Structure 1
Amino acid sequence: MSGKVARLGHVGIAVEDIDRSVAFYTEVLGMRLTEMFRYDESTVGHGSAVLAGAFVRGWEDTIHHRLSIFTLRDANPEKPSARSLGLHHIAFEMDSSDDLLTLYRRFKEREVPIVNARIGGPGNQPRFYGLDPDGNLLEFYYKIDHVGWDGIPRPYPAIQEIELEDFDFEAYDEQREKQAEAERARRLQTQPSS
């Protein structure tokens, strides 16, 4: 099929204070600033609504940006809310459970608001949610489930809150693999024989 989307490229957010947000995303989350500039006031493109933009990427990422951060020309933009239409949250994948815990602890040390930590539900990934300086909901996760060759997601438990500091990642991984094996065996038994 032509014209299909290959992958999500980046997310753009509007913030109140671009310097504060760049500091948060680079100093707290460890992302890298690619570039930042002011837009000329124009009647086309971003310049008609956006005053300045900053473009950040992952630490080892060579893609120009994964997140676009903008300040708007309108001095009174509406604040985001988890119960409003538009952007709901931005999710960031971590390379390891240690990275997830390190970031969780950094949020606590810097008194960055943490909403909660969870397992279960679609994707079944250990994760925590926090807020950026403008109240945007952010998710940080490790080891999200992959869809199998049959295109069917494997079963998952209901969403439940956890204390990430006490969470046993290794036991959780073992449990997930056992559940996946049991589901594979069940599907093989229920498949009609040729």
Structure 2
Amino acid sequence: MSVTYDVGGVRLPRPFRIQKFAHFGFNVDDIDKSGEFYEGALGFARTDMIDLQRVPAIAKGFAPGVDGRLVFTRFSGDHHALIYMHRDAAAFMGGGDEPDLTTNQITWQVGSLREIVEAERYLLDRNVKIVRVGRDMPGGNWHVYFTDPDGHVFELSYGMEQIGWSGHSRPSALHKPWFGVPELPRISETEEIDKAEAAGVDLAAGHRYTGTPGPTVDVDGTLLPRPFSIQALGPVGVFSRVLDQALEFYTDGLGFTVTEEVTVHGLPVYFLRAAHEHHSLVLAPIELRERLGWPDRTTNMYLGVQVGSYRQLRAAITHLLGQGYERVRVPAEMHTGIDYAAHFADPSGHRIQIYYAMEHVGWDGRPRPAELRAKMEEPWPESIESDLVGEPFMGPVR
């Protein structure tokens, strides 16, 4: 009889359940150019920035001249969805054995703090390399970091700090990271904040995003500084040097389900899901990177950014081309489950996949048959017929 675990009263094969793609990190070549792309062109809002050169416990031994800035950005109420740091700083921090491991972290959300604690024990029992366990600051989320068979850093996360209507992040006086496995149960965040306020902490002293100056455009009824708004982050794709091991790790180890397998340039590409979206993780052999003609400086295949509509997707393409960013053509099979998608290169060569909607998988667990999918027309029409839907975004957009 196989072992099962009680997760919130439901018996599961693991002591946790991945709910969704949570956030992501890149190691980049240039912090300022990356900021121009991710914050200026795409519209992620900066919530916090740490200079690791100024953190005594970390900076000791840091090579002089290394850019130690770690930038946190968001598109919704979550404190951060996308972070980036310089690849030299990441290497100093132990960013992986291979120089092309530039995915700083790939993070998945679980449903409770108990799942974080029990996941650490479960992963140790499976001889998975644990990077660290505790609570991150800024962001306030509890975590367990570990590596996949290729050395990509994965994170299970719970309890991300929420940015409210005023746009302020948590003040630095509350940046008290927790190292190690927490004892359960813990006090709630409400009690934490009440105690801080009673101790005289100014709750409005955190960083506040002040918006992007310049012209505005009507985006479905809201005036915004660019002709689209980000609705969701993901999926994420990675190239693997040990594909069979990685596939077993993600499915048997972490609970992902293979939705579909396609062939691109004679090699297999696997689309895996955590919940009801067609895929949240894409996995392919490292040999495909060269066959696609993509740079060998990163094992990242692409990172998805969902915008609000097909109209916004077309506008995003025009906007990014107007900003001078390179559009990368990819085989349509690389975005199976998504009808229209455009790919751009960031200043470090990472691929960003921009799309507006994705297929969902129903109760029977089967994706739409390939012959029933709409085909992407070239050139793209001004409007299309589609029954695809995006993940709901409650807004407001900013």
Normalising to structure 1: TM-score of the pair?
0.72
Match of 1:55 among 72, 81, 84: 72
Which residues in structure 2 correspond to 1:1-194 (within 5 Å)?
1=12, 2-39=15-52, 40=55, 42=57, 51-58=68-75, 61-71=76-86, 72-73=88-89, 82=294, 84=296, 86-116=299-329, 122-156=336-370, 162-163=377-378, 166-167=380-381, 169-171=383-385, 173=386
Q: Does the aligned pair in 2 maintain the 1:119–1:159 contact within 8 Å?
A: no
Distance 2:67 2:20 in 1: 26
Q: 1:50 to 1:123 in 2, by over 3 A?
A: farther
Q: Does the aligned pair in 2 maintain the 1:124–1:156 contact within 8 Å?
A: no
Deviation at 1:83, TM superposition (A): 5.9
Q: 1:34 to 1:43 in 2, by over 3 A?
A: closer
Deviations 1:115-143 (A, max 9, x none): 12775652133100010111101100111
Q: 1:169 to 1:144 in 2, by over 3 A?
A: farther
- Counterpart residue identity of residue 87, structure 1: N
Distance 1:13 1:162 in 2: 32
Deviation at 1:50, TM superposition (A): 7.8
The runs of 5 or more residues in structure 2 that have no matched partner are 1-11, 93-97, 103-288, 389-398
* SS, match of residue 9 in structure 1: strand
* Residue matched to 1:190: none
Distance 1:86 1:41 in 2: 31
Q: 1:162 to 1:132 in 2, by over 3 A?
A: farther
Deviation at 1:27, TM superposition (A): 1.3
Normalising to structure 2: TM-score of the pair?
0.37
* SS, match of residue 170 in structure 1: coil
Which structure has greater strand proportion?
2
| CA RMSD, 1 decimal | 3.3
Q: Does the aligned pair in 2 maintain the 1:118–1:162 contact within 8 Å?
A: no
Distance 2:71 2:332 in 1: 33
Q: 1:66 to 1:54 in 2, by over 3 A?
A: same
Identity percentage over the alignment? 22
Highest RCO, 1 vs 2 (Cα 8 Å, sep ≥ 6): 1
Q: 1:27 to 1:104 in 2, by over 3 A?
A: same
Distance 2:314 2:330 in 1: 11
- Counterpart residue identity of residue 110, structure 1: Q
Q: Does the aligned pair in 1 maintain the 2:25–2:82 contact within 8 Å?
A: yes
Deviations 1:67-117 (A, max 9, x none): 110113359x95777364632211111110111111100121122000127
Distance 2:344 2:374 in 1: 17
Q: 1:65 to 1:131 in 2, by over 3 A?
A: same
Deviation at 1:42, TM superposition (A): 3.8
- Counterpart residue identity of residue 306, structure 2: E
Deviation at 1:4, TM superposition (A): 2.0
Q: 1:133 to 1:159 in 2, by over 3 A?
A: farther
Distance 1:63 1:23 in 2: 21
Deviation at 1:5, TM superposition (A): 1.5
* SS, match of residue 19 in structure 1: helix
Q: Does the aligned pair in 2 maintain the 1:97–1:142 contact within 8 Å?
A: yes
Q: 1:117 to 1:141 in 2, by over 3 A?
A: farther
Q: 1:54 to 1:162 in 2, by over 3 A?
A: farther
Distance 2:330 2:309 in 1: 16
- Counterpart residue identity of residue 155, structure 1: P
